[in-house]
């Protein structure tokens, strides 16, 4: 459900299609999609009156029991929509948090997701007790609902504080681990990219790893590090981090601070791009914006244009050499390489480029002058 044109460069249709993929990843069966273009969402219902009536009318034919909105709803909008639609209403943030909760397997990942969920829930507690608030009681408006609401807020704030304390311990542990790793002299190459761009598949292909992969958004969530030997016989550590996505909830960025600090410590960022995606350009801009927010744009970087096998026709059998030659015009820069992680095409060139980039980053005088 999209109620306005995106504030970024994403067309509404592409955004709603991505929302449907997110819903599928969460286990939902999508029965319909609805788009409304408004200069600004309705303050009370997000949708305009006519579109809301259309959505209500669709219930009899589609028999939906959940409506998902492609934006973060205010507590008022969510409560009013549920009253009008008589079904559960969730927004993009809640959907992503649900997927993260399913995908987090390590203790750290579970702590991060739980913190983000509680931070999301705290301002939305009022709606949970609106039926009791109407009872009133005592002087003024103080009633059983308000008392329960205050109790729940206090409990959630305590839980948030406890989770932040635990994650701070994780952050300190990670800092000590990074110091130890730094003393070992092994540089870190961090994989970054839009979700489902093929980062985990690339990690498996480069390092003979066994990281779980699946053709779904956020198939893997917990960071994984493996060793890689480069052509010059140097050993580096390659780390797969959480995938990015547009409208990434601030609560997620905040909760995953300890994990994202891995990017700050990396000697090189390897940006993996799904070249076969029709939204590849917009996905790249989203990754650039998030890296900018994390103050990481100054890091040495390589761009790996992945999934080139999906761009080739099926009229003949393609081998690595013919595929790379055919698509050579798709690789515009010296810091860009064409690859197919699933077929292991272009990986030799990628290893060489990683080695060269790390060398020039360590010894800037070796970089050719322009």
pLDDT digits (tens, 9 = 90+) for 232-283: 999 999 988 778 888 877 777 766 666 677 788 899 999 999 999 988 999 9
The residue ranking higher by pLDDT, 306 or 140, is 306
CA atoms within 13 A on the CB side of 247: 22
Which has more confidence, 128 or 340? 340
Residue 136, pLDDT > 60, answer no
User: What pLDDT is recorded for position 122?
Assistant: 85
Question: How confident is residue 140, by pLDDT bands cut at 50, 70 and 90?
Answer: very low
pLDDT above 70 for 370: no
SS3 readout for the chain = CECCCCCCCCCHHHHHHHHHHHHHHCCCCCCCCCECCCCCCECCCECCHHHHHHHHHHHHHHCCCEEEECCCCCHHHHHHHHHHHCCEEEEHHHHHHHHHHHHCCCHHHHHHHHHHHHHHHHHHHHHHCHHHHCCCCCCCCCCHHHHHHHHHHHHHHHHHHHHHHHHHHHHHHHHHHHHHHHHCCCCEEEEEEECCCCHHHHHHHHHCCCCCCCCCCCCCCCCEEEEEECCCCCEEEEEECCCECCCCCHHHHHHCHHHHHHHHHCCEEEEEEECCCCCHHHHHHHHHHHHHHCCCCCCCEEEEEECHHHHCCCCCCCCHHHHHHHCHHHCCCCCEEECECCCCECHHHHHHHHHHHHHHHHCHHHCCCC
For residue 144, report the phi and psi dihedrals to the nearest 5 degrees: -60, -35
What are the tens digits of pLDDT across the range 252-264?
A: 776 666 667 778 8
pLDDT band at 220; cut points 50, 70, 90:
low
Q: What is the pLDDT of residue 214?
A: 57
303: confidence class by pLDDT, cuts 50, 70, 90:
very high
Q: Tell me what the pLDDT averaged over the chain comes to.
A: 82
**pLDDT exceeds 60 at position 134:** no
pLDDT the model gives residue 1: 61
The pLDDT of residue 212 is 54
Q: What is the arithmetic mean of pLDDT over 139-166?
A: 75
Kindly report which listed range (114-123, 138-147, 271-280, 303-312) carries the lowest average pLDDT score.
138-147
Q: Is the pLDDT confidence value at 116 over 80? A: yes
- Cα 150 to Cα 123, 126, 127, 128, 146, distances in angstroms: 12, 9, 13, 12, 6
Q: Is the pLDDT of residue 6 over 80?
A: no
Q: Per the confidence metrics, is the pTM higher than 0.85?
A: no
- Tell me what the mean pLDDT of segment 323-332 comes to: 80
Average pLDDT over residues 106-117: 83
pLDDT digits (tens, 9 = 90+) for 51-99: 999 999 999 999 999 999 999 999 899 999 999 999 999 999 899 888 8
């Amino acid at each position: 459900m999209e109620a306005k044109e995106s504030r970024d460069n994403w067309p509404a249709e592409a955004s709603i299609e991505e929302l449907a993929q997110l819903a599928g990843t969460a286990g939902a069966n999508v029965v319909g999609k609805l788009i409304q273009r408004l200069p600004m969402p309705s303050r009370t219902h997000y949708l305009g009156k006519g579109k809301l009536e259309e959505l209500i009318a669709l219930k009899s034919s589609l028999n939906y029991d959940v409506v998902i909105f492609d934006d973060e709803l205010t507590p008022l909008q969510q409560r009013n929509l549920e009253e009008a639609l008589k079904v559960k209403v969730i927004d993009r943030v809640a959907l992503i948090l649900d997927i993260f909760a399913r995908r987090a397997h390590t203790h750290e990942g579970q702590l991060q997701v739980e913190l983000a969920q509680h931070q999301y829930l705290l301002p939305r507690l009022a709606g949970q007790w609106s039926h009791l608030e109407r009872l009133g009681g005592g002087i003024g408006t103080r009633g059983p609902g308000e008392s329960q609401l205050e109790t729940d807020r206090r409990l959630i704030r305590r839980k948030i504080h406890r989770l932040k304390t635990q994650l701070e311990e994780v952050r300190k542990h990670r800092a000590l681990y990074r110091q130890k790793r730094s003393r070992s002299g092994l540089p870190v190459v961090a994989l970054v990219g839009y979700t489902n761009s093929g980062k985990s598949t690339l990690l498996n292909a480069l390092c003979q790893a066994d990281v779980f992969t699946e053709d779904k958004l956020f198939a893997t969530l917990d960071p994984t590090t493996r060793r890689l030997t480069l052509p010059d016989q140097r050993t580096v550590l390659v780390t797969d981090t959480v995938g990015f996505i547009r409208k990434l909830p601030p609560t997620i960025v905040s909760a995953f601070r300890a994990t994202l600090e891995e990017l700050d410590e990396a000697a090189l960022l390897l940006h993996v791009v799904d070249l076969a995606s029709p939204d590849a350009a917009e996905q790249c801009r989203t990754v650039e914006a998030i890296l900018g927010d994390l103050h990481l744009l100054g890091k040495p970087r390589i761009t790996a244009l992945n999934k080139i096998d999906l761009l080739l026709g099926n009229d003949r059998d393609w081998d690595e050499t013919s595929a790379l030659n055919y698509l050579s015009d798709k690789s515009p820069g010296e810091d860009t390489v064409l690859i197919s992680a699933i077929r292991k095409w272009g990986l030799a060139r990628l290893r060489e480029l990683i080695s060269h980039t790390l060398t020039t980053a360590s010894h800037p005088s070796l970089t050719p002058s322009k």
